């Protein structure tokens, strides 16, 4: 019996006005508002009421319309969604993630665990959000209702990306762009793998992060190790898997992670993936990758999603641990 459960896909018709785009999924969004968003709000620091307007100013109002459209359907406050869009920058210690960028006989694959909070309600409300234009998928995001930014996404322009948490000992860069919202811009706007790499590497960000990007060819696999204002690019070596957990690896830089528990498991999860993966390009099924991601050496207690993305096929598979979905004893 598998330990993961496949998630549903929600389609968003980009040919509709923004105010109508979320109406077909009103019941799903309302349920998440009463469960997931309430739980997320409890975990955020107090006194953030004014922050929504600062985020709106920093992003030049780019996400305001979508925040209001979702909030209207969910019966909530659009400002709460704006604050949630900066959750990574505000609460770095809650996040982890383990990511694989593998070369295969069918082109590169990006597979990852999303170690996120609050893991149980997040798993219950995880969906693939597939945005369609004239009936064709242009972006696919592994997300949840109310999310404006992203940590895992794919573009029909031929690339996919995944973000992992990391600390640099410096903390929040107040003039930087919120990380999750910038990655949403990259998936929505970039026209190619090279364009996505450039945009992720060059934008000043509010917090450090590790962003793995893969294209449609096996040599197009890179982890961009971001500090708020600088970047190092760590490319895959030949056909060997490019692996990322929660520490800088470019020149084996030392660092302080935003959370002792995650720091203590980062190298162990890396070794677990190394042991379970082939060292050269081969056939890698979704099930094989999900088996690796769900192994006890790789999976954490806060692992809320397992994702496999194949940009050459423009195909994503999103699963959640069966125990968090209530289908298996924890």
Whether 170 and 243 share a structural domain: yes
Element (H, E) at 292: helix 286-293
CA angle 161, 167, 172 (to 5 degrees): 95
Distance in angstroms (rounded) separating the CA atoms of residues 306 and 321: 8
At 217-260, the pLDDT tens digits run 999 999 999 999 999 999 999 999 999 998 888 765 444 444 44
Length of the chain: 330
Instruction: Verify that 170 and 66 share a domain, yes or no.
Output: no
Predicted structure pTM score: 0.93
User: How far apart are the C-alpha atoms of 199 and 201, rounded to whole Å?
Assistant: 5
Contact yes or no for 112/98 (Cβ under 8 A): yes
- Other Cβ atoms within 10 Å of 260 Cβ, number: 10
Question: How many domains does the chain divide into?
Answer: 2
What are 193's two structure tokens? 């793998």
Digit-by-digit pLDDT tens for the chain (330 residues) are 689 999 999 999 999 999 999 999 999 999 998 888 888 877 776 767 788 999 999 999 999 999 999 999 999 999 999 999 998 988 765 677 999 999 999 999 999 999 988 899 999 999 999 999 999 999 999 999 999 999 999 999 999 999 999 986 677 888 999 999 999 999 999 999 999 999 999 999 999 999 999 999 999 999 999 999 999 999 999 999 999 998 888 765 444 444 445 556 788 999 999 999 988 878 899 999 999 999 999 999 999 999 999 999 999 999 999 999 765 444
Q: Which of 46, 64, 89 is the last residue of a domain?
A: 89
Note whether residue 3 is domain-resident.
no
Asked if residues 99 and 292 have their Cβ atoms less than 8 Å apart, the reply is: no
Q: Has residue 330 been placed in a domain?
A: no
Counting residues of the chain whose pLDDT is more than 70, the rounded percentage is 91
Among residues 72, 89, 106, the one where a domain terminates is 89
């Amino acid at each position: 019996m598998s330990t993961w459960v496949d998630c549903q896909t929600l389609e968003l018709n980009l040919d509709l006005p923004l105010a109508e785009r979320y109406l077909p999924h009103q019941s799903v969004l309302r349920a998440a508002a009463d469960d997931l968003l309430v739980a997320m709000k409890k975990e955020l620091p107090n006194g953030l009421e004014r922050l929504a307007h600062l985020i709106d100013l920093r992003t030049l109002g780019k996400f305001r319309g979508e925040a209001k459209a979702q909030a209207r359907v969910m019966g909530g406050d659009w400002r709460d969604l704006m604050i949630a869009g900066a959750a990574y920058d505000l609460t770095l210690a809650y996040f982890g993630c383990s990511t694989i960028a593998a070369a295969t006989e069918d082109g590169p694959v990006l597979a990852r665990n999303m170690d996120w909070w609050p893991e149980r309600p997040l798993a219950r409300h995880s969906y693939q959000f597939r945005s369609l234009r004239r009936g064709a998928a242009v972006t696919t995001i592994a997300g949840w209702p109310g999310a404006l930014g992203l940590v895992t996404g794919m573009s029909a322009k031929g690339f996919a990306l995944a973000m992992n948490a990391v600390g640099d000992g410096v903390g929040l860069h107040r003039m930087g762009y919120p990380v999750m919202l910038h990655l949403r811009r990259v998936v929505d706007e970039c026209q190619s793998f090279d364009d996505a790499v450039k945009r992720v590497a060059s934008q000043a960000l509010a917090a450090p992060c590790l962003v793995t990007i893969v294209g449609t060819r096996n040599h197009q696999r890179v982890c961009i190790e971001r500090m708020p204002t600088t970047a190092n690019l760590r490319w895959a070596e030949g056909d060997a898997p490019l692996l990322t957990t929660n520490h800088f690896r470019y020149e084996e830089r030392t660092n302080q992670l935003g959370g002792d528990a995650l720091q203590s498991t980062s190298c162990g999860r890396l070794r677990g993936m190394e042991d379970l993966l082939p060292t050269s390009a081969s056939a890698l099924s979704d099930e094989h990758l999900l088996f690796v991601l769900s192994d006890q050496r790789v999976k954490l207690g806060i692992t809320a999603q397992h994702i496999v993305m194949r940009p050459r096929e423009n195909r994503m598979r999103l699963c959640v641990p069966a125990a968090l979905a209530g289908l298996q004893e924890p």
